[in-house]
Amino acid sequence: MNCDFESLPVFVGVLSSAIAKSFNANELAVLSGVFTQLGDSLALVAAQRAMQEQCKHIEENRKNDVFS
């Protein structure tokens, strides 16, 4: 993955302009809702993975404390 995060908002802006040229207002409203839900769902998956990793580390630390 490219680590140039400063260019990401520019890319998204250009992409949204290109998409907007191909759809009417009603279609854009639906697409907006779809992408919003997609983004929210991806954020939830990322949060769950982060919590799983945190729990994994806590459990590993507990095991290490027991055997120390």
Note the Cα 8 to chain centre separation in Å. 13
68 pLDDT tier (thresholds 50, 70, 90) = low
More confident residue, 67 or 7: 7
| Residue 60, token pair as written in the block | 């590993």
% of residues, the chain, pLDDT over 70: 94
pLDDT at 60: 84
Mean pLDDT of 23-27: 97
Confidence band of 16 (pLDDT split at 50, 70, 90): very high
Q: Dig out the tokens for 6 from the structure.
A: 């400063």
pTM reported for the whole predicted model? 0.69
